[in-house]
Amino acid sequence: MDAITVREKKFNKLITLVSIVIPVVVAILFGVKLPNVEPLSFLPPIYASVNGLTALLLVVAVWAIKNGKRKLHQNLMTTCIALSLAFLLMYVAYHMTSDSTVFGGEGYIKVVYYFILVTHIVLSIAIIPLVLRTYAKAYLQKFEAHRKLAKITFPIWLYVAVTGVIVYLMISPYYSY
């Protein structure tokens, strides 16, 4: 077995672990309320903006690689991962200090909202190993495998980022400040 294959197997074990631990820890922390802490009610528009910026940078990153700007693409993708991590930290911090907001819409808009919300949540969990494996392929310079996986990862990640903004816009009238 060559050195790259050994490194890839190690990465895959770590990626599997991280892909399980993150959703479990988020689910646990989601149920924890910090006592005597001021609600961080200013965070939702910030983390929604982070999602929007991530979506924009994902599109620019695809443009960059299609135009031969590999270093720009790499920097943008690394930035998108950092933004996703920042989103996650802010999201958890908000929910540890604030009660969940109930969507107040009725009728078909409520069905639309919950469809978008549920697909956003499910795909936000699924995207973790996809992003990490896609990134690892590039890091290991397995560019053909990277491209193949990126064709699956990109639209899902873009959907998660865009629907994060949509969910915020749909629920924002119901936040209590």
Q: Which domains does the chain have, with CATH numbers?
A: 3-174 (1.20.120.80)
For 90, phi then psi, to 5°, come to -65, -40
pLDDT tens digit sequence for 137-173: 999 999 999 999 999 999 999 999 999 999 999 999 8
Which pLDDT value is given to residue 68? 97
Which pLDDT value is given to residue 31? 84
